[in-house]
Structure 1
Amino acid sequence: MTSVIVVGSGAAGLAAALSARESGAEVTVVEATSTIGGTTALSSGAAWLPNNHLPLAAEDTPERARTYLNALGRSDEHAYGSEPGYGYESAETVMSDRFVDEAPRVAEWLEMRTPLRWATLPVPDCHSTLPGGYEAGRSLEPRPFRATPQVAALVRAALPWRSRATLGELLTGKAAPDLIEQRRQAGVHTAGQALVAALLTAAVDAGVTIRTHARATRFLGTGVAVDGTLLDGRVVLATGGFERDEALVRRFLGGPIAGLTGAPGARGDGLRMAIAAGAALHNTAQAWWCPTIRIPGDAIEGEPVHRILLAERARPGAVLVDCDGHRFTNEARSYHEVGRSLHPTEPSWLIVDATHRRRYPIGPVRPEDSDPDWLQRACTLPELARLIDVPGDALAKTVSRFNWAAAAGEDPDFDRGASPYDSVMGDPGAVHPTLGPLYAPPFYAVPVRPGLGGTSGGPRTDPDGRVLRDDGTSVPGLYAAGNVAAGPFGAAYPGTGATIGQALVFGAQAGRAAAGD
């Protein structure tokens, strides 16, 4: 019987393990940390899977999805340049074509082979106005799931501030406190934990061996060294990104990156193994970017962790300014686009007025809470500018120009609110979902820094996950999927859950190939 060793236990790793086991292999998952799930377990669990089998995607087609990805790639290349790792008209075309073909099959296969059940998220593609874009139906999320105590004990704990609400409930305002408390008491998982728990349940039931506290460090051609011991078999790298390794971040991303939001285990083990095996690298300057804020005391396993700044920036009465006091982006765009627009070294600032503060949460602070020390407050904009060391005249002009246009429901500078995605991120109950002036004192400011949920570059693979050399030949016995591998979308981010969607799809392909080659 073929042996397959899957290194890593997030979405890509568990999908690979299930696929390899279904294909007849003896499968072992090795996880360096004490729990299963990696950054997937800390996430919303959303997966962008076009042309899926759920009702809202009934009018989607592979051709439409390909049209969208092609249009997105051209748009992204125009906006961000065509240097290596950015454009779409290259290796990403082959990978994205396979992604479009396999996404619906993987989405349905997971429901057939695991206790995972999908729900459709009420969000459009991030660029749904491009040709082939879709209004709602391509982004899925796991329904709440209750695992056995044995499986639940293995799943990485959620971030302490994450409630047991689904992303759909949060976006629609239907996260009822009593229901969330019932889930907590009953041990019901939601979001990324639900996804991991459902896939892990199926893997254990199928006879996959799960090993924690087992760090793989070397690929040896016929297996992998795990804590000094050789495990024989074909190896699927699914270790996640390299964002927690300072040397690799400096080498590939020009680091350091301030706003890390993912699991501490993303130390680049898989990338190093691939490099040592002679793999060709691609897309290594890219990541799943996001704007982040730092709340004092937030940590995961003793390491600092940032929070993604989501709806706060898109709601009425808020703007983002740079260190010179100028707006620089459409604040309601996807977190990926906003994140990579941030200055890499200087903080930007989320500026809100009292109306916004009384109406919406800012990070963990609810409208009824007292102001924390990390939330800068001033009675006037010039005073606030002095507190945050931003030119007062520039900030005043920026806010004045924004107010003048926002009062009319317009944003001539960045078209905020013009797309369906912008509106979903805002407040559907407001006069305008995302535009509103900042008039009412006091004014508040929060520092915002570029962050990432994971890197998206690494060894180049073929569509079946085989790791490739520079000459196009494959490294025998070595496969990769998920954030450890070169991403299939280049620098683009097509829709909510693109990270996990591609991880599930290519994890499944890699596991099948590793078992069958």
Structure 2
Amino acid sequence: MALQLLTKCPRRSGFGTPVTIATRNIRSRNFATIRHFQTTQQYDEEFDVVVVGSGAGGLTAAITATLVGKQKVLVTEKSKWFGGTSAFSGGALWVPMSRHTEKDTDSIARAKTYIQSYLQKISRMEDYDDALVSAYLETAPEMVEFLESSSAAQFVPCATPDYYMELEGAVTAGRTILNAPYDGRRLGSKLVKQVRYPLQGYCAFGSMQADALDFNAWTHPFSNFRNLALVTGSVLRYMVDRVRYGKGTNFCNGNALVGRLLESATRSGIEFRNEAAAIEPILADGRIMGVVIDRHDGPVRVRAKKAVILATGGFARNGSWARKFLPAGSEWTVSPRSNQGDGIQIGLTSGGVLPKPLNENAALWSPVSEIKTRKGPRIYPHFVMGLTKPGSIIVDVDARRFANESASYQDFGKAVQAAGVQKQYLIGTKAHLRKYGMGAALPAPYPINHLVRQGYLVRAPTISGLATKIGLDPRKLTATVEKFNKFAREGKDPDFHRGEAGYDRAFGDPSQPNPCLGPLEHGPFYAISMHAGNGITMYGLKTNQDAQVLDSQENPVPGLYAVGADSNHFLRGHYPSGGLTLGPSMVFGYRAGLHSGR
């Protein structure tokens, strides 16, 4: 997750309203004129493969094309920062049967059964594509082994279970893997500064990162010598890094993944351009020949002899498309501001298509909150922490609960949409806040008063007083809390069954009888205003199992590939386990890199 964020999707240019002069020129000429012009022009640069976008999917494709295909590769990035959405993600990948999995407890057939069981549960079997699912499951462990043996990538197992443990084919742990922390100093003083910053709330003091697996040490630094040594050493290193590099260089989670892939890419001879947007395709004889890149010194025509691989991160920041394809109000997003759908536009101009019908889930849903900083407003996604733990609730503008707060973020997002809720409030006790954190407010011993002064956290000694401060009816909110407290003391939530599902319990507090339920009894109380939002879009160009972009006749557009959010999600946006956005991005990036060299 990143610091370089906007508050909301910009209410400007959509795909029908081009955002650059070059794109306007494309759309003002007919296709035959474009093709004639592009066929006769000369190229400024020439590569075998051009990758548009520098997230994990694009970097995986570039490394694969270079190391396996022995190809000359360029990675071009629109923004100043490398890493895309991947850099500020949690860095999780869903990879059944990887080398980090207990293989005697899992199989590809079992993983496929789990996916089918989930789609049957939600009555969406029409979204099952066996060719894509089989390609993903068969290739995912191969991709992990390739990166770990041929690059600086290093994955670690995670105890996260599949989200629907009651379904056939689910496993309790092993399919989701994370990234080992990475020493960003290995990138050199210039490149380390160009990696996208982590999201505020996922780091401390601006850019001091912590491994997700060390969360307990950071929240209990004085409980034992190991924790104290880890935290003290990290803080001292961070102080030195800030002087030398202007930021922390202990990369964790998604930053660690991007850092490792960037190191591997640069050492492999891959060339990089940042602040270099791909603004139009170069087309001739029914295939893509390259792209025009807009740099500070003007447009550059780049030939791609073998392939152009689109990996620009989707359209979450494109206001008109967000309004067109996402539910009302859910266009609030944590995606980088550069995710304007440039890759999808290039694909459509080149003959690719968007699949029909529209995905039921066109994005990865998450409630989001807005943080005010000296550099402007930033967005924080509420994926897990502070929602699943006891001692908090979420209410709508009528001060009523409307869903199971501890459900997976995708399920909670769907419940938000079904209830027609756009604005909501996370309410918790001081004990909840200081033990688990709330949004961008880190748990004790980290300070929170600055967030109270900014208005991000609203504090009051009583529930009725809190209601008045956030504009809710005090009587209604008091009644809602009293009803919930009765459920919490009894350990059962008959209204929304919070704490009953396997996902709820896995991410709750195991020290409590019901790991997700705790009464809101003792003040002061805190509230955070939240909006319906998304982490990244999951509706894009139609592709096959090798990530080739398909035209309206289901034929590949020669030389053109799309991965990550530029391609349509292989499960059409369904999300039955953690790591099912980053995992597909890298798996199909790997397949694109392999196929481009054939």
TM over 0.5: yes
For 2:140, the aligned partner's letter is A
Corresponding residue for 1:134? Answer: 171
Write the mapping of 1:296-315 to structure 2, written as runs, cut at 5 A. 296-297=372-373, 304-308=378-382, 310-315=384-389
Q: Deviations over 1:55-94 (max 9, x none)?
A: 4454211011101111122223x4xxxxxxxx34346443
* Cα deviation, residue 342, structure 1: 2.5
Q: 1:68 aligns with which of 83, 90, 114?
A: 114
For residues 410-437 of structure 1, what are the alpha-carbon distances to aligned partners after superposition, in whole Å with 9 as ceiling and x for unaligned? 2222222123322232223345322111
Task: Tell whether 2:87 aligns with 1:41.
Answer: yes
Match of residue 326, structure 2, among 241, 250, 253: 253
| CA pair 309-477 structure 1, distance change in 2 beyond 3 A | closer
CA contact (8 A) 2:119 2:128 kept: no
Q: Deviations over 1:118-168 (max 9, x none)?
A: 111221112222111111111111101122315424422323542421122
Structure 1 residue corresponding to 2:441, chosen from 354, 361, 364? 364
**Separation in 2, partners of 1:298, 1:319:** 30
Task: Please give the residue correspondences for 1:66-465 in structure 2 after superposition, counting only pairs within 5 Å.
Answer: 66-76=112-122, 78=123, 87-90=124-127, 92-146=129-183, 147-149=186-188, 151-161=191-201, 162=203, 163-170=208-215, 176-181=230-235, 184=238, 185=240, 187-220=249-282, 221-227=288-294, 228-233=299-304, 234-254=307-327, 257=330, 259-282=332-355, 283=358, 286-297=362-373, 304-308=378-382, 310-343=384-417, 346-362=422-438, 363-364=440-441, 366-367=443-444, 369-370=448-449, 371-372=452-453, 373-465=455-547
User: Which amino acid in structure 2 is aligned with residue 386 of structure 1?
Assistant: T
Structure 1's 241 and 256: CA in aligned 2 closer, same or farther, altered over 3 A? farther
Q: Does residue 513 in structure 1 map to residue 513 in structure 2?
A: no
User: Structure 1 residues 314-323 or 278-287, which shifts more?
Assistant: 278-287
Q: Once the 2 structures are TM-superposed, how far is the Cα of residue 111 of structure 1 from its aligned partner?
A: 0.6
Mapped partners of 2:235, 2:410: distance in 1: 31
Following superposition, the deviation at residue 42 of structure 1 comes to: 1.1
Question: For each residue in 1:425-479, what CA deviation from the matched residue of structure 2 results, as whole angstroms up to 9, or x when unmatched?
Answer: 2223345322111122333321111221110111110010110112211111111
CA contact (8 A) 1:115 1:198 kept: yes
Which of residues 553, 571, 589 is equivalent to 1:489?
Answer: 571
CA contact (8 A) 1:9 1:239 kept: yes
Cα offset, 1:269, TM superposition: 0.3
**Range 505-514 or range 392-401, more displaced:** 392-401
User: In 2 relative to 1, CA 182–433 (structure 1 residues): closer, same or farther, beyond 3 Å?
Assistant: farther
Q: Per-residue deviation at 1:50?
A: 1.4
Change (3 A) 1:269 1:462: same
Contact 1:342–1:348 (CA under 8 A) maintained in structure 2: no
Q: Please state whether the residue corresponding to 1:498 is helix, strand or coil.
A: coil
Shift of residue 303, structure 1, vs aligned partner: 6.8
Find the counterpart in structure 1 of residue 4 from structure 2.
Answer: none
Q: CA deviation at 1:258?
A: 5.3
> Which one of the candidate residues 10, 13, 20 is aligned to 2:65?
20
Mapping 1:465-476, distance limit 5 Å = 465-476=547-558
Deviations 1:390-424 (A, max 9, x none): 34444333323322221122222222212332223
Rounded Cα–Cα distance in structure 1 between residues aligned with 2:90 and 2:174 = 16
What is the rounded CA distance, in whole Å, between the counterparts of 2:155 and 2:233 in structure 1? 19
Q: Aligned partners of 1:74, 1:356: CA distance in 2, in Å?
A: 37
Q: How far did residue 354 of structure 1 move?
A: 3.9
Q: Distance in 2 between matches of 1:409 and 1:298?
A: 43
Q: 2:102 & 2:492 partners in 1: Cα distance?
A: 30
Alignment partner of 2:518: what SS? Answer: coil
Tell me which structure has the larger Cα radius of gyration. Answer: 2
- 215-224 vs 335-344, which deviates more? 335-344
The count of residues paired between Structure 1 and Structure 2 equals 505
Alpha-carbon distance between aligned partners in 1 of 2:150 and 2:496, rounded to the nearest angstrom: 45
Report if the CA contact (8 A) 1:293-1:309 is conserved.
no
Greater Cα offset, 276-285 or 486-495? 276-285
Q: Contact 2:391 / 2:429 at 8 angstroms: preserved in 1?
A: yes
For 1:6, the aligned partner's letter is: V
The secondary structure found in structure 2 opposite 1:222 is strand
Task: State how far apart, in whole Å, the 2-side matches of 1:155 and 1:214 are.
Answer: 15
State the identity as a percent. Answer: 31
Q: Determine if contact 1:246/1:255 at 8 Å carries over to the other structure.
A: no
Supply the distance in 2 between the matched residues of 1:179 and 1:413 (Cα, whole angstroms).
46
Shift of 1:359: 3.5
> How far apart, in 2, do the equivalents of 1:501 and 1:74 lie?
22
Q: Work out the CA distance in 2 between the residues paired with 1:298 and 1:431.
A: 42
Contact 1:46 1:497 in 2 (8 A): yes
The AA in structure 2 aligned to 1:209 is E
- What TM-score, normalized to structure 1? 0.91
Aligned 8 A contact 2:390 2:509 in 1: yes
Letter in 2 for 1:213: E
Letter in 1 for 2:232: D
Q: Which residue identity is paired with 1:29?
A: V
* SS state at 2:250 partner: coil
State the distance in 1 between where 2:198 and 2:549 align.
32
| Residues 200, 389 of structure 1: alpha-carbon distance in 2 compared, 3 angstrom cutoff | same
Tell me how far 1:43 sits from its aligned partner. Answer: 1.3
Q: Cα distance 1:115–1:448, how it changes in 2: closer, same or farther (>3 A)? A: same
**Cα distance in 1, alignment partners of residues 113 and 542 from structure 2:** 24
SS in 2 for 1:352: strand
Q: Which runs of 5+ in 1 are unaligned?
A: 79-86
Return closer, same or farther for 1:460/1:133 CA change in 2, 3 Å cut-off. same
Shift in alpha-carbon separation, 1:422–1:463, aligned structure 2, 3 A:
same
CA distance in structure 1 between the aligned counterparts of 2:384 and 2:116, rounded to whole angstroms: 27
Deviates more, 1:358-367 or 1:169-178: 169-178
Q: Distance in 2 between matches of 1:57 and 1:460?
A: 33
Unaligned runs of 5+ in 2: 1-45, 221-226, 242-248, 283-287
Q: How much has 1:105 moved relative to structure 2?
A: 0.9
Looking at structure 2, the residues matched to 444 and 303 of structure 1 have their Cα atoms a distance apart, in angstroms, of 20
> Could you list the per-position Cα deviations for residues 269-309 of structure 1 after superposition, in whole angstroms to 9, with x for gaps in the alignment?
0111112223221356610111111122276xx67433435
Contact 1:6–1:236 (Cα < 8 Å) also in 2: yes
Query: In structure 2, how many angstroms separate the alpha carbons of the residues matched to 1:204 and 1:58?
Result: 37
